[in-house]
Amino acid sequence: EGGGNMAASGEGDPEGLCGAERPGAGGLALLGLAPSAPSCPHGPALLFVKTSQGKEEGRRFYACSACRDRKDCNFFQWEDEKVSETRLVAREEYNRNYQPPFTHRQNVERYKNFVLLPLSKRRFCQECQQLLFPTEWEKHLDHQFLCNISIAQLKSPSQLLYPLENKKTNAQYLFADRSCQLLLDLIIDLGFRRVLSVGTPRLHEMIQSKASQGEDFRVRSLLLDIDFRYSQFYTEDEFCHYNMFNHYFFGGEAAREACMKFLHQDNGGRVIMVTDPPFGGLVGALAASFKKLMAMWKETGKEGHNNQEMPMFWIFPYFFESRILEFFPSFSMLDYQVDYDNHALYKHGKTGRRQSPVRIFTNLTPSMIVLPVEEGYRFCTICQRYVSSGNQHCEICNSCTSKDGRRWKHCVLCKKCVKPSWFHCNNCNCCALQSHTCEKTDAGCFVCGKAGHKRSTCPSLSST
């Protein structure tokens, strides 16, 4: 599920990723998915350009859509580069070799045969992350493996598989049961019957488990995820190998059709998309993919769909709010703090600056979404939404203004509420941390502190 490579300080954008895809921010600008884009093992590459002071600088280039770190995927090609036939053939060969040892269909057959084995014959290789048949044991003799794999373990693959915690590509920080259960309760209470689970394996797992236990549980889920290991446990109408950064179905047209069929059941009614992307991912690339999934849903042709957005929960840190609203103006941010099982910082119950910064963004009406009162959430009758206990209504702003769970304070000069740790700076004419560096004032001399000259030419040095 969603990633967590942002510090939980809540003091802006700790790793500077918010602007990394925006022209004018300095650094790289994402130009999107070009029709003739070359491919790496993760599907079609994205087009980028370097920027400085709002201007494009240098040649445009293609890079991997999923991996922000060149160590994970070193694909690189200039947009105007002439690639030789030999290199193209070598690239195709490399992409083929990078693919998993079994296809999804083969994995489904393997699963059917695996469950027929007696318990003592069921093994799982922890090193290869693969279900093993007795005939394959010999090849894995020097590997660590789990024995006596039960049906219950097979139904909970997110606990059997080790999380891929590469923060910018997979970032499998899995929902804590508390957050997972709340999402499912909301989905049921709001009347949804199908969930398009984009990068949320634990939610998908919870739905699958409940569906297999009770006949009266009517919610169904389709998991779209870049982690192909899940194909060992789910059929082709339960899982699609999918890259959410370039809207790429690795299984080709058959996988796309499976997704289309799922979205079109009940004429496209009562379906919601729930997504929890890696937090280091580019918001622009994610938004483009989510809009394409929404467009697939609209193709149902159901009356009214043309004027509607597919209902959605997008789980992401609150400091990306402006970026998400840039692409989805109809979205609003809920106060609920999402937490994860295997993340050191994003845990429920922490206070102050250690609270989880992860929130739910949705295009559903906030007043419809009931948050648990026992966890301190209350309904604000003026804002018509549930807010956290620390989020006090500001009479001047006429809104519950806190974003991070702490009580914010109103600045008369800024004419808005700000974080409790911020103070108004007269030099910058805005509120900031006391330790900030004033951008609008010249840095003073290290010797005398006065502006207008550097240490080497300081008058006090020459007089001494």
Query: What is d(CA 274, CA 201) in angstroms, rounded to the nearest whole number?
Result: 11
pLDDT in tens, 253-262: 999 999 999 9
For residues 26 and 275, the model is more confident at 275
pLDDT at residue 456 in the model: 53
Enter the DSSP assignment of 175.
Answer: B
pLDDT in tens, 41-94: 999 999 999 877 667 778 899 999 998 778 889 899 999 999 999 999 999 999
CA-nearest of 284, 277, 355 to 324 is 284
Q: What angle do CA 235, 134, 131 make, to 5 degrees?
A: 30
Q: What is the mean pLDDT of residues 2-8?
A: 38
In the numeric block, the tokens 């009214």 are attached to 304
For residues 386 and 7, the model is more confident at 386
In the numeric block, the tokens 């999934």 are attached to 293
- Over 50: is that where the pLDDT of 6 sits? no
pLDDT in tens, 302-320: 655 566 889 999 999 999 9
Q: Which of the listed ranges 11-25, 71-85, 164-178 does the model predict with the highest average pLDDT? A: 71-85
Query: What is d(CA 145, CA 125) in angstroms, rounded to the nearest whole number?
Result: 4
Give the distance from CA 139 to its chain's centroid.
36
Three-state secondary-structure class, residue 142 = coil
- Over 70: is that where the pLDDT of 221 sits? yes
Answer for the pair 293, 19: CB distance below 8 angstroms, yes or no: no
Query: What is d(CA 11, CA 8) in angstroms, rounded to the nearest whole number?
Result: 8
Three-state secondary-structure class, residue 124 = strand
pLDDT at residue 58 in the model: 81
Q: What is the mean pLDDT of residues 321-349?
A: 81
What proportion of the chain, given as a percentage, has pLDDT over 70?
82
Nearby residues of 42 by Cβ (< 8 Å), 6 or more positions away = 64, 65, 66, 67, 73, 226, 243, 245, 246, 248
Answer for the pair 325, 367: CB distance below 8 angstroms, yes or no: no
Question: What average pLDDT does the structure give for the chain?
Answer: 84
Please state the pTM of the whole predicted model.
Answer: 0.84
Structural tokens at position 153? 């373990």
- Over 70: is that where the pLDDT of 380 sits? yes
pLDDT in tens, 263-293: 998 877 899 999 999 888 889 999 999 999 9
Counting other chains too, the contacts that 383-391 makes at CB distance below 8 Å and 24 or more residues apart are: 385/332, 385/334, 385/335, 386/334, 386/335, 386/336, 387/335, 388/335, 388/337, 391/335
- Over 90: is that where the pLDDT of 242 sits? yes
CA-nearest of 79, 46, 48 to 64 is 46
User: Which option is the CATH number for 177-300+307-389: 3.10.450, 1.10.1660, 3.40.50, 1.10.3470?
Assistant: 3.40.50
pLDDT at residue 353 in the model: 45
State the pLDDT confidence band at 349, using cuts at 50, 70 and 90.
low
pLDDT in tens, 112-138: 999 999 999 999 999 999 999 999 999
**Region of poorest pLDDT, from 259-263, 317-321, 359-363, 449-453:** 449-453
In the numeric block, the tokens 């910064």 are attached to 357
Which amino acid does the sequence have at 217? F
- Over 90: is that where the pLDDT of 203 sits? yes
CA-nearest of 398, 373, 400, 396 to 385 is 400
Query: For residue 418, how many other CB atoms are within 10 A of its CB?
Result: 17
